[in-house]
Structure 1
Amino acid sequence: MIIEKHEDPYFKSCSRHSHIRKNWLGSIVFPFSALLQQSEFSDQTDVLERALIFNKTCKAMFPNRRITTTVFNGEGLQILVTRYIKALNPPQQFLDMFLHDSNATLDLIARFVSLIPIVPDILDENDGFDIWMTSERCISLAIGNKEEHAILLCNFFLYFGKKALVLLGTSMLEGQVAYVLTQETDEYLLWNPLTGQCHKQFDPFCPLQSVDCLFDDGNVWFNIEQNNTPMAVHFDYSKESFWKQLLPKNFQGTKAHTIQPEEIIYCETNKSMIEDLKNRIERTLKCKMMEWRPKQPTRWNRQCTYILRKILPKLELGTGSFVSSEEESEFERLLQFYWVTGFPIQMPYTDLQSIIDAVYQTGIHSSEFPQTEFALAVYIHPYPNNILSVWVYLASLARHQ
C-alpha cells in the first residue's frame, strides 16, 4: 500500500513524499514438494486406472490368488509397487566382513533383514489399500510388515547386481507371504525375508505353497498358470502364456520415479546399552524361573553357565566350531555327574515380555527331578540401528542317581 503525504496542501506539486505501509491480509503457502506430487499424480492417473482394471481382470481369472499393483505411501498417495524397488546399500560392516565370499555376505544380509521385528498387516486381505514404508523408514524405525521386509531384502540383493524380484504368494506356515526370487545361473532361489532362509525352487521342504505375483522396478506380473505351486511354476515371466503383465513392454516412465532414497545412512548401536539390556534380561529370567517353581528350590550351576556364555556368540556368527576343545572337556566333566538337557533360543528383540514368554513355553522350568540345577546364559548381538539378535541358552542338569 502506497500513501502520499504532502507538506503543503496548496503546493501539492512542489513537495511530495511517498510512504509504503504493509498491512497483512493473510497468506497461502504452496510447498514445492506438494506441487511436484500433484503433477506426478496427474501424470500417473492413466497408470493407476490401468492397474485397477488389471487387478479386476486377474481376480476374475483366479479369485484366490494375490495381486497387488498399487499401495499408499507414507504421504497418502497411491503409487505403483514398482516404485519401491531400487538397489540400496546394506551396512558397510557387512560388506567388509566376507570380502571374498559373496554367498556368506548374502546370507548375512538376509539374516539382518530377518531380525527386523515384524508388524502384522491388518489390511492384507484388502489388497490395494495397504500402506508401505520406504526401506529407509523401515530401517530407521526397526520394524516392518511382510512386504516391506521383502522389498528391503530385494533392494539389498540388487545392490550386488543380483537379478531379484518380490514374490507374493501363500505359505502353509505363515499364510500370505512376500518372498524374494533371485535368478542364478541355472536355478531360481526363494528367500524368506522373515527367517533369512533360502530354498531352491524344487526343495520339497520349502514352505511356500503358491506363487501368485511378481514385481520389480519396471512391471508387475500375475501368474496365470493353472498350477501355481513353486515346483510347477515357470519363472520366465517374459512368456505371456504363463504370466500376465501390467504394463506393456514399450511403456516408459516407471523406473525413474522411485520413492527410495539414493542411499541408506546407518547409525551405530550403543554397546553400553546392549550390556545393560543383557544383564536385565538375565536377571529377569532367573527371577521368573524361581516364580515358576514356587514349591521347589532353583539352584544355578555356574560351571555350565560359564560354558554356555562362551558358545552363544559363536552361534550368532555361525563360523568355525561351536565348542572348543577346552569347552568340550569341561562338558565331558559335567556329563560324568549330570544328565544335561538344554537348547538355545534365538529371536529378534522386540520387548522383554516376548523373551519371557518364549522361555516359559519351553517348559524346562517344570523339571521334577530331585536336586535339579539350571544354567542360563544370555547374549545379544548388535546390528546397526538398534536391530538386535537375542540368544538365550537354558539348560537343566539332573544328577545321576
Structure 2
Amino acid sequence: EFGAMADTQTLLSICDRVHIVLTRKDTLGEIHLVSSHFLEWRQILCAQANKTNRILELNGIGAENKLPVGVINVCLQLIPPLNESVAEDVLAAQLDLEHSKSTERERLFLIYAKQWWKEFLEIREEHRTRLVKIFGQDENGVNHPVFSFVQPLRSGRLLDTPREAARFVSLIGYDRHSVVGNTDRTEMWTHTHAFLARNCGDCENHSVLLCSLLLGFGLDAYVCIGTKGKNQIHSWVVTIGADDIFFWESLNGNRYQHISIDPDDPPLDKLSLNNIRHPYKTIGCLFNDKLFYANVQPTCNVDTCVFRLLDQSKWKAMSADAIASVNTPGLVLTAPMMPHLMSNTLDPIALSNDIEKQIRALIIQHRKDLGYTTQFDEHLSYLLSPALSSYELERVTGLSVGNEEFQEAVRRAVPNGHAFKGFPIQFVHKNARKAFVFSLKNNLCEEIVCCHGDQVRLAVRVRVFTYPENALATWMMFACRYKSVGSTK
C-alpha cells in the first residue's frame, strides 16, 4: 500500500548499500575525490530501537585504496522503528546467503567471459590489439563488467530532451585520472555518484552518464570504446535509429551523423571528406546495460564501420542472459548503482550579477594598472544578453536563432563613425578571476579590455545557465565601441 512502512522481511531483503563519498575543495575551488565507501546499513535492524552509531575507517581512491584517509562517526536510525528487532543470526544468515549467490554469479560470468574472449581471438589474430574492454576498475580498485556502470536514468523534469542531457553532461568538468610516476594512461571507471559529487571525471564517466540518460529517453544508445586523433584511447556514445546513426561526444555535447563508407568504393572527394566531421578513428566495442558487442569487421576504422549489430559477421555479441545475470539490481552486491539527479541549488540571476560585478572590477583594475581610465556603456552591456542566450540555445538545440536582432540592436546602439568589437566565451565554473585571466590570453579579448583612444566605451555581460547537479554554463561577452581612426563624424 502506498505510504505504508515496509515490513521486516522487505527491509531485510533490501541489499542496496549506502554510498558515502568524501570530497575536498582546495583554495582554487577545485573539488577532489578523497574516498568512496559503501556502507551496509542493515545492522540497524538488529539494534535496540533501530538506532546505532558506527565508526567507519575510510580509505583513499585509486592506487591509495588500501590506505586510510580518515575516520567518521555515522549515526544510523530507522524511522519509524520496527516493533521487534531482527535477530543478529537472522541478519548474518541473510548476508551470507546474498554474498554466496553474488560471488557465484560473478564466478560464472568470469568463466563465460574467458570463453567468449577466447572465441573472439580465434576469429582473427589481429583482434588481440583491438580495444575490447570487458572489465573496468572503479575508484576503489574493484573490477566490474563495463556494462554494469550503465543503467537507464530518467531525469524527471530536470532535463527535457536528449540534446539537453548531452549539454548537461558536457558541462561536467573533464579531468584524466593521474597517477604517480611515468606510466601509461590509467583508467578509473568512477561510480556515477562519485563522479557527480566531484563534478569532474574522465571521458568514460561522461560517456556512461550520457548513455544512461539517452537510454532513459528511450533511445537505443551504447557506449563506444575506441580511439580518436593520434590513436588516443577514447569513449563516446552512439545512438542507432531506424534510418540514422549518430555519434554523441560527451565532453562537448556535439552530435555527428555517421555515414558508413564502403572501402571498395573510389576515394572520396574533398567535399565528402569534409562532411565526415567526427574525430573518431577506430572502434573496438560498444555496450549498454543489456548488450555488449565486439567489432569483428576486417578493419576497426570508424568510417567504414557498419552498425548492423545483429549481423554476426560484423559484431560478436555477448549472451544477454549472461549480462543480465550480473547486471540485474540485487543480484550482485558490488554492482555499481545509478543515483537520481539532483536539482540545481544555485540562483542563476544572482550568480550572473555577482560574477559580472567581479569581472567589471577586474577590468577596471587591469586598465588602471596600464594607466587607462574605464567607462562602461550600460545600454550596450544590456544588449549583449540576447547573444549569450542565443549561444547557449545553439549548444542545446544545434539551431542558431536571434542573431539578426542582436546585430540590428548593436548597429543602432553604436554611433556613426564608431567601431564595435565583441568577444564571447563560456566556462563551466563561477570563478570570475580565473575566467578573466583565461580570457585575456585571447588576443581579441585583450584588445577589447585594453582598448584606448577616442570615446572608448566598454561593455560586459555575464549570463549563467544552470543544470542539474549544480552544473552550469557561464557565458561572458567582452565588448567595446570606439571612434574609428580617420572618422570625421
Deviates more, 1:142-151 or 1:288-297: 288-297
CA contact (8 A) 1:281 1:378 kept: yes
CA contact (8 A) 2:380 2:413 kept: no
Task: Answer yes or no: is 1:341 the counterpart of 2:403.
Answer: no
Aligned CA distance change for structure 1 residues 295 and 85 (closer, same or farther; 3 Å): closer
Task: Answer yes or no: is 1:381 the counterpart of 2:465.
Answer: yes
Per-residue deviation, residues 345-368 of structure 1 (Å, max 9, x unmatched): 123227445423431222222456
CA contact (8 A) 1:301 1:374 kept: yes
Task: Answer yes or no: is 1:122 the counterpart of 2:147.
Answer: no
Deviates more, 1:313-322 or 1:81-90: 313-322
> What is the distance in 2 between the residues matched to 1:352 and 1:53?
55
Counterpart code for 2:288: D
> What is the distance in 2 between the residues matched to 1:132 and 1:32?
30
Partner of 2:223: 166
Percent identical pairs in the alignment equals 20
Aligned CA distance change for structure 1 residues 346 and 34 (closer, same or farther; 3 Å): farther
Task: Answer yes or no: is 1:152 the counterpart of 2:209.
Answer: yes
Partner of 2:106: 44
Deviates more, 1:27-36 or 1:319-328: 27-36
Task: Answer yes or no: is 1:295 the counterpart of 2:370.
Answer: yes
**Which of 222, 226, 243 in structure 2 is aligned with 1:186?**
243
SS of residue paired to 2:277: coil
**Which of 447, 469, 475 in structure 2 is aligned with 1:391?**
475
TM-score, normalised to structure 2, is 0.64
Partner of 1:207: 279
Task: Answer yes or no: is 1:229 the counterpart of 2:301.
Answer: yes
Q: Aligned pair count?
A: 361
Unaligned runs of 5+ in 1: 1-26, 96-104
Deviates more, 1:177-186 or 1:113-122: 113-122
Unaligned runs of 5+ in 2: 1-87, 260-274
Counterpart code for 1:182: T
CA contact (8 A) 1:87 1:155 kept: yes
Counterpart code for 1:370: G
Aligned CA distance change for structure 1 residues 249 and 126 (closer, same or farther; 3 Å): farther
Aligned CA distance change for structure 1 residues 50 and 396 (closer, same or farther; 3 Å): farther
Cα shift at 1:264: 1.2
CA contact (8 A) 2:158 2:468 kept: no
Cα shift at 1:340: 1.2
TM-score, normalised to structure 1, is 0.76
**Which of 136, 148, 173 in structure 2 is aligned with 1:83?**
148
The residue correspondences of 1:240-279 to structure 2 (distance < 5 A) are 240-245=312-317, 247-248=318-319, 251=322, 253-257=325-329, 259=335, 261=337, 264-271=340-347, 274-279=348-353
> What is the distance in 2 between the residues matched to 1:218 and 1:393?
45
Aligned CA distance change for structure 1 residues 305 and 212 (closer, same or farther; 3 Å): same
Task: Answer yes or no: is 1:370 the counterpart of 2:370.
Answer: no
Aligned CA distance change for structure 1 residues 33 and 327 (closer, same or farther; 3 Å): farther
> What is the distance in 1 between the residues matched to 2:437 and 2:96?
46
Cα shift at 1:92: 0.8
> What is the distance in 2 between the residues matched to 1:240 and 1:34?
41
CA contact (8 A) 1:136 1:260 kept: no
CA contact (8 A) 1:118 1:145 kept: yes
Aligned CA distance change for structure 1 residues 295 and 144 (closer, same or farther; 3 Å): closer
Per-residue deviation, residues 135-170 of structure 1 (Å, max 9, x unmatched): 344334433321121111111111222111100122
The residue correspondences of 1:14-29 to structure 2 (distance < 5 A) are none
SS of residue paired to 1:92: coil
Deviates more, 1:85-94 or 1:279-288: 279-288
**Which of 199, 203, 212 in structure 2 is aligned with 1:142?**
199
Q: Could you say what the CA RMSD is over the residues aligned between the two structures, in angstroms? A: 3.6
Cα shift at 1:378: 0.7
Partner of 1:331: 411
CA contact (8 A) 2:306 2:314 kept: yes
Per-residue deviation, residues 325-360 of structure 1 (Å, max 9, x unmatched): 598245334052421121321232274454234312
Aligned CA distance change for structure 1 residues 286 and 38 (closer, same or farther; 3 Å): farther
> What is the distance in 2 between the residues matched to 1:381 and 1:84?
29
Cα shift at 1:303: 2.6
Cα shift at 1:53: 7.1
CA contact (8 A) 1:86 1:260 kept: no
Deviates more, 1:211-220 or 1:345-354: 345-354
Cα shift at 1:315: 3.0
> What is the distance in 2 between the residues matched to 1:117 and 1:326?
30
Deviates more, 1:359-368 or 1:232-241: 359-368
Task: Answer yes or no: is 1:285 the counterpart of 2:362.
Answer: no
> What is the distance in 2 between the residues matched to 1:396 and 1:244?
59
> What is the distance in 1 between the residues matched to 2:99 and 2:137?
13
Counterpart code for 2:164: L
Cα shift at 1:232: 0.1
Partner of 2:163: 107
Aligned CA distance change for structure 1 residues 78 and 93 (closer, same or farther; 3 Å): closer
Cα shift at 1:382: 1.4
CA contact (8 A) 1:182 1:189 kept: yes
> What is the distance in 1 between the residues matched to 2:93 and 2:141?
16
